[in-house]
Amino acid sequence: MSLQPAASSAAPAHVLFEDVHMAFGGRTVLRGMSCEFPRGRISIILGGSGAGKTTILRLIGGLVRPQKGRIAVAGLDVTSASEADLYTVRDKLGMMFQGGALLDSLSIFDNLAFPLREHSKLSEAEIAKEVRDKLAAVGMSGVDHLLPGQLSGGMVKRAALARAIINRPEILLCDEPFSGLDPISVKRIEALLRHINRELDITILISSHHVPSTLRLADQVVLLVQGQAMVGSAQSLRTSPDPMIAEFLNEEVDHSRALDLGFEPERRPIL
């Protein structure tokens, strides 16, 4: 099977893009993108630098609005939602940002406790239990007193993942969770994402350049090509006869190897 322009899936859509157009000034990023992200599955958005991967995650969170088209998140149209409705949607989302986006001056414990102190009515004792449970879930017990700057890159990613799921989201958005990690840390994050998906029943959307992990992890691959989505399984991507897809995969595999060796190209901050 080759990749399809917009396949529909057996599982119901948890996030739905319909004919979405998005431009920043004169720069068009999405040109009528349509795509379903199925509930309970891991979808990975692949595309070259500047293809619009981070933009898609920001559109889902209602951080930017498209010029045209509809985006439904857990049944709510975020393109026309009021700020109050967007707040309800964001409550259902966990976000793991590129680079971790942990607060440098707060300990790991306080970084994880922060969303709970802001958004829940839990007591400090209940918050402490939640934080320690989540740190244990990502294999980071005993580091809660450290500052983010005292952790390795892989540990920062794991702490960011723990923080992204602390509010028990329905949908987890991860921007480049594998960038800058060595192969062992990549596999560790993959295992955590799989665990979060299966055990906590959280729909996961990942933006990534990392082709090897995409082929291992994705239930569905969304390849961004010229502002539109090509949708298929990891297997269909691997065996696609489309020369453009094969070329993209080869280039990105080389890029992923470079990342695995520690050469990360300079990236813009996402927010």
Ligand X SMILES: Nc1ncnc2c1ncn2[C@@H]1O[C@H](COP(=O)(O)OP(=O)(O)OP(=O)(O)O)[C@@H](O)[C@H]1O
Q: For the residues of 89-103, what is the DSSP string, one character each?
A: HHHTEEEE-TT----
Cα separation of 149 and 220, whole Å?
Answer: 35
Binding flag, residue 55, Mg ion (CB under 5 A): no
Q: For the residues of 185-246, what is the DSSP string, one character each?
A: HHHHHHHHHHHHHHHS--EEEEEE--HHHHHHH-SEEEEEETTEEEEE-HHHHHT---HHHH
Q: Which residue has the tokens 């540990």?
A: 155
Closer residue to ligand X, CB minimum distance, 51 or 108 = 51
Closer residue to Mg ion, CB minimum distance, 40 or 153 = 153
Query: Judged by CB under 5 A, which of 54, 179, 203, 220 binds Mg ion?
Result: 54
Cα separation of 144 and 111, whole Å?
Answer: 9
> In the numeric block, which tokens belong to residue 169?
């989201």
Binding flag, residue 121, ligand X (CB under 6 A): no
Cα separation of 13 and 219, whole Å?
Answer: 13
Q: Quick one: which segment of 47-55, 148-156, 160-168, 213-221 binds ligand X (CB under 6 A)?
A: 47-55
Query: Judged by CB under 6 A, which of 8, 49, 150, 152 binds ligand X?
Result: 49
Binding flag, residue 179, Mg ion (CB under 5 A): no
As measured in angstroms, the least distance from the Cβ of 67 to ligand X is: 13
As measured in angstroms, the least distance from the Cβ of 75 to Mg ion is: 27
Q: What are phi and psi of 89, to 5 degrees?
A: -65, -45
Binding flag, residue 55, ligand X (CB under 6 A): yes
Using CB under 6 A as the binding rule, the residues of this chain from 23 to 42 that contact ligand X are 24, 27, 29
C-alpha pair distances (Å), 163 with each of 39, 112, 216, 221:
21, 5, 24, 25
Q: Total residues contacting ligand X (rule CB under 6 A)?
A: 14
What Rg do the C-alpha atoms of the chain give, in angstroms? 18
- Contact string 128-157 vs ligand X (x = CB under 6 A): ------------------------------
Binding flag, residue 187, ligand X (CB under 6 A): no
* Residues engaged in binding Mg ion (CB under 5 A): 53-54
* Residues engaged in binding ligand X (CB under 6 A): 24, 27, 29, 47, 49-55, 207, 209, 267
